[in-house]
Amino acid sequence: MTAPETVTPTAAPPVKSLFLPAALFALAFVGWLGFQTAQLIGERQALTTARANLDPMELNATKLRTALDALASATAKLATDGNANARVIVDELRKRGVTINPPGALKPAQ
């Protein structure tokens, strides 16, 4: 004879919760947002520093442009008054694509 088999009750499968995956996803998302924020703050500071470093160069370039415009206008005035050397300079500049605005003309918008 065989031994009677004992029937063990089968346990219900464990209930799987979405809490742990959702918590890990939320933690990863918040971490990513924090990282991106830190990166953007760093880039903003770098751009602010770069702009501050470029301000003196922009001021110098504006001064130089103003001086060159005044020189070119004076040369153009001499050329229109009949100075041959000034006429040669104005013609050479025109050949190279440099436009000289007459004195008192409106400056182009920048």
pLDDT in tens, 42-98: 999 999 999 999 999 999 999 999 999 999 999 999 999 989 999 999 999 999 998
Q: How far apart are CA 79 and CA 91, in angstroms?
A: 9
Return the number of other C-beta atoms located less than 10 Å from residue 40's C-beta.
10
Contact 79, 90 (CB under 8 A): yes
| pLDDT for 14 | 78
| pLDDT for 59 | 95
> In 3-state terms, what secondary structure has residue 60?
helix
Contact 89, 79 (CB under 8 A): yes
| pLDDT for 40 | 98
| pLDDT for 3 | 63
Residue 22 predicted with pLDDT over 70: yes
Contact 80, 103 (CB under 8 A): no
Residues shown for the chain: 110
Residue 6 predicted with pLDDT over 90: no
Contact 99, 110 (CB under 8 A): no
Global pTM reads 0.54
| pLDDT for 47 | 97
